Amino acid sequence: MSNKIYFTPGPAQLFYTFEEHLKRALFEDIPSISHRSSKFIRVVEETNEALAELLELPSGHHIYFLNSANEAWDRIIQNLVDKSSHHFVNGSFSQKFYDFALAHNKQSTLSKINDGNSFSKLEVPDSSELIGITKNETSVGYSFLADEITSLRNNNPDKIIALDIVSASPSLAVDFKQIDTAYFSVQKAFGLPPGLGVWIANEKCHEVAEKRATQTSLGSYRALPNLHKFGIKRQTPETPNMLFIYLLGKIAQDMLQVGLKKLRNDTTYKAAILNQTIEDHPMLSHFVPSKPHRSKTTIVAKTDQSGKFLSFFEEKGIILGKGYGVHKENHIRIANFPTHSKESVEMICDMFKKIE
């Protein structure tokens, strides 16, 4: 494997046990087994159990496998929204979820903020059936607070709350009792290559989808009722990415061995020293003004010298993330995922001090 260290926020640095598990998967012929075999069912069971424990899922939340988090946007809109959803947009990825809703001809609405600012109001139209929230907006390093999610739940008890946990879980705590559906892709905090998405849905989602299925098409083989039909048998409707389901389960088990408390404490420590480095450097500043809303897993700094910083680190085998979208030229994004050791983060903080 490469000697480079990737602090890019996705695809990100591979988890440090990835190569070991990949070799084991090949030895066990995981990519070639039947997706209807007892061996594959055991793989899905182990992965589901590890994810449920790692994410602290309450009973009644079901896990399904997709191609990506982008696909989850499609599935959520197709299955759970009849006419309208409301989206809290604070960056490129939350914007894309809203755009997907419009592409499906929904009369959706949005609350939008720019320049890293916080939402002044958390109001949702009465007509909205679903609320889209991004726990951690990877494009700009903005984190939606737990209290804000709870407030939306309390004020909208009958609406479905959909939470994007890409680049958030398992590093950031999520109270799944406050939401109905969530989704992520594996190439960020879980340290896998891209190619697998995970969709989590509770019983309310299943009830809504079952009712809508009697009135309209929910898509094809990955309609939620069909996913559930196979999911209760620990199977998938189609031949899935079996290798990545296996690897995801193994890495989730490794994270449980580390311990969720330590994993999250380490995330907080690494974020603190990265944020302090930004504050101390004369050429850097925080993009998100509100300290509580600054992401712990995607640290974003503003600078008019991004190329200088990126080149300095790349020459030393360290790849930082460029800005995203309209901020491509004046942002640096630094991933802080479980695979990034405290020592490696301390090292790059020291290296920042050498750039003048």
Rounded Cα–Cα distance for residues 247 and 223 (Å): 25
Per the DSSP assignment, residues forming a β-bridge with 298 are: 335
pLDDT beyond 80 at 1: no
pLDDT beyond 90 at 13: yes
What average pLDDT does the chain have? 97
Residue carrying the six token digits 């004046």: 330
Other residues' Cβ atoms within 10 Å of the Cβ of residue 268: 12
Instruction: Give the percent of the chain with pLDDT over 70.
Output: 99
Other residues' Cβ atoms within 10 Å of the Cβ of residue 121: 6
DSSP H/E element including 231: helix 224-231
Instruction: Please tell me the predicted confidence (pLDDT) of residue 338.
Output: 98
Would you place residue 3 in the very low, low, confident or very high pLDDT band (cuts 50, 70, 90)?
Answer: confident
Structure confidence by residue, pLDDT tens digits, 292-322: 999 999 999 999 999 999 999 999 999 999 9
Helix (H, G, I), strand (E, B) or coil at 162: strand
Average pLDDT over residues 103-128: 95
Strand pairing category for 181-185 and 160-164: parallel
Average pLDDT over residues 175-195: 98
* CA pseudo-torsion sign 228, 234, 238, 241: positive
Q: Is 72 left (phi over 0), alpha (psi -120 to 50) or beta?
A: alpha
Per the DSSP assignment, residues forming a β-bridge with 200 are: 63, 182
Strand order of the sheet with strand 85-89? 62-66, 197-201, 181-185, 160-164, 130-134, 85-89, 109-112
User: CB-based contacts of 166: which residues, under 8 Å, 6+ apart?
Assistant: 10, 69, 93, 134, 136, 138, 183, 184, 185, 188
Distance from the Cα of residue 258 to its chain's centroid? 20
Rounded Cα–Cα distance for residues 319 and 334 (Å): 9
Rounded Cα–Cα distance for residues 264 and 170 (Å): 8
Do 18-257 and 5-13+259-352 fall under one CATH topology?
no
**CATH code of the region 5-13+259-352:** 3.90.1150.10
Q: What is the DSSP string of 67-80?
A: S-HHHHHHHHHHHH
pLDDT beyond 80 at 223: yes
Distance from the Cα of residue 264 to its chain's centroid? 15
Helix (H, G, I), strand (E, B) or coil at 335: strand
The ranges assigned to domains in the chain are 5-13+259-352, 18-257
Right CATH for 18-257 from 3.10.580.10, 3.30.70.3270, 3.40.640.10, 3.40.50.620: 3.40.640.10
DSSP H/E element including 96: helix 92-103
Contact 163, 248 (CB under 8 A): no
